[in-house]
Structure 1
Amino acid sequence: MKKFKFTISGDEYDVHLQDIEENIATIEVNGTKYEVEVKREIKASKTPKLVRKPVVQQPGEGQIKKSQSSGVAIKAPLPGTILKINVAVGDEVKEGQNLLVMEAMKMENQVLAEKAGQVSAIKVKEGDAVLQDDVLIEIS
């Protein structure tokens, strides 16, 4: 905060005023920290002091969880509505095969398989509204 140099009885002192809270000042004198009481009138603050409880994290909170799926998730390229689903669970699909048709931005878009495999789950049904990157179909 502020730095001062004092000479007391011929001895020099480097004083760093770090913080003052109410009538307690935290200072550092020649590298040693002290908390000292300041004799002064404490002004009442009109601004309330924000007091928060410490944040306690639950076990596992804040850790990235990897999905255990070994397959490919086909995601919506744009927000839109599912018009037609061309496959069923258990169907074998080839890379580039048309899986479903969705309407986005007043155009029909073909959603294609990114790799060959078997359809393990269909996460949407005809008429569903989806957002970009929503999982539509899983292929294993």
Structure 2
Amino acid sequence: MKNFEFNIQNNTYHVKILSHEGNDIALEVNGTTYSVKLKQEIKKTKTPTLVRAASKRPAEPLKVNPSSSKTKIVAPIPGVVLSIDIKVGDTIKIGDRLLVLEAMKMENNITSEKAGTVTSVNVSVGQQVLQNEIMIELE
């Protein structure tokens, strides 16, 4: 099974474990076979493996009021702004990525659900934002 080499008080011992069943172990030390009994059975530790299933529902889009002339893009969850893909004065279409928000070690693309022109960007790269904090305003 396994081979070991021990050095005890300048004496070298070559130990080979021949079998291990419960508390009984058969081993060979420097060519001599021994049968030993453990005082306590060695328990194997079981480490659980966590497996997370994929989400069954699609990501919820940001809700906007289609009749309003101004649209406010708010943070859906608390996080850190990783990148901003637009600037004031840019014209955007539906589905354009506005910024990337890191939350819970995941990168979340914040996209536009309404076409328009960017009137203000209220966040900067590296800034922490709270849930429902206004990040971008469109007109």
1:94 alignment counterpart? 93
1:100 alignment partner, SS class: strand
Please give the root-mean-square deviation of Cα atoms over the aligned residues, in Å: 1.1
Equivalent residue letter for 1:106: K
Q: 2: CA distance between counterparts of 1:74 and 1:95?
A: 13
5+ residue gaps in structure 2? 1-67
CA deviations on 1:96-119 (whole Å, 9 max, x unpaired) are 110000100110000011200000
1:72 alignment counterpart? 71
5+ residue gaps in structure 1? 1-68
Output the TM-score relative to the length of structure 2: 0.50
- Give how far 1:77 is off: 0.7
1:89 alignment partner, SS class: coil
Percent sequence identity over aligned pairs: 50
8 Å Cα contact 1:74-1:114 kept in structure 2: no
Output the TM-score relative to the length of structure 1: 0.50
Q: Which ranges of 4 or more aligned residues in structure 1 deviate by more than 6 Å? A: none
Q: 2: CA distance between counterparts of 1:86 and 1:137?
A: 11
1:84 alignment counterpart? 83
- Give how far 1:70 is off: 3.4
CA deviations on 1:63-107 (whole Å, 9 max, x unpaired) are xxxxxx831000001000000000000000001110000100110
Aligned residues: 72
